[in-house]
Amino acid sequence: VVALARRIAATDGLAFAGVMGWEAQAVAIADPAEKESTVRTAIAALVASARDCAVAGLPCGIVSCGGTGTIKYTMHQPGVTEIQAGGGMLSDMRYTTSMGADLPPALTILASVTSRPTPTRIVCDAGRKTMSADGNTVTGSMHIVDLPDAAAAQVFAHDDPLAKGGVFENIRVRRFENCSGRTMWQFQGNANNPRFLYIAEATVDVGPDLLATQRRYFDHADRADHVIVHGLLLADDGLARRGTVILLETADRAAAEALVAADPLARCYDNTELLSWRFGGEENLQDLIKRP
């Protein structure tokens, strides 16, 4: 740091004013004691760099660090002159749910529940034009794997680093039969369109006639550009058919809801979920890099 500060001070048109850091490694730590310790260690290193610069004859008037996700701990560290907490002015939901920032939101919305069509679903009078639908909050993870048996699948699921870290509230492992004739990685879609995961579960076996009708429906050319993969949920014995899983890409959520509502097996399901979803792995990484 001192060497860089000297180069800055010696360069025409530049003036060395101070040092800046960001203890990002502490943002998502849930345990308060661990988070405070991580912040303290990081800022101590930053303050030490500022002190080294001053000893070398380079006055360091600014020691800038922190952010909304760590302000609770950063503001109490000695030697800090500036906090970079801008988002805290609005304190959106992510700061509370993912960063442990106990700050009141700048805006709240009063909504009413207008109906409850199923035990697990409510309808309210506040939709996309009222509340954000950006989908940036990651709430879970989904994997389709080819493993020898259910025990191996359980091991795979619980070895997930997020599972080991206690991120998931529950983990579901289901037998799955791919009915699409391709993997989701072979789907040629538009990464700018929203994608959805549809899970529909039944408590009784679904008959072969309805299954044939369902397959024709999802394989139809009119839906080929929207159905990434579709398949059956199976009982543990691999024989009884207990539901459907569909990965979708549509123009919006309403289009996805309309597509799954016409599923020939819809009347057989006891519980359905339509979740916002995106590809993981390398495809998702490249997608995120390309986006502004």
Q: What is the DSSP string of 57-75?
A: T----EEEE--TTTHHHHT
Is residue 124 assigned to a domain?
no
pLDDT of residue 288: 39
The residue segments making up the domain with residue 37 are 2-98
Tokens 């959805």 correspond to what residue?
A: 196
Helices (DSSP H) in the chain: which residue ranges? 2-10, 32-55, 71-74, 93-98, 150-159, 161-164, 208-219, 253-261, 281-290
Of the listed ranges 15-29, 121-135, 263-277, the one predicted with least confidence: 121-135
The CATH number assigned to the domain holding 28 equals 3.20.20.10
93 plus 200 within the same structural domain: no
Res. 291 pLDDT band, cuts 50 70 90: very low
Say which residue, 156 or 267, is predicted with more confidence: 156
Is residue 107 assigned to a domain?
no
Is residue 141 assigned to a domain?
no
Number of domains into which the chain is organized: 2
What are the tens digits of pLDDT across the range 67-82?
Answer: 888 988 999 999 999 9
pLDDT higher than 50, residue 287:
no
Of the residues 51, 80, 98, which one is the last residue of a structural domain? Answer: 98
**Mean pLDDT for the stretch of residues 196-202:** 90
Q: Cα(first)–Cα(last) distance of the chain, in Å?
A: 31
pLDDT higher than 90, residue 126:
no
180 plus 94 within the same structural domain: no
Res. 2 pLDDT band, cuts 50 70 90: very high
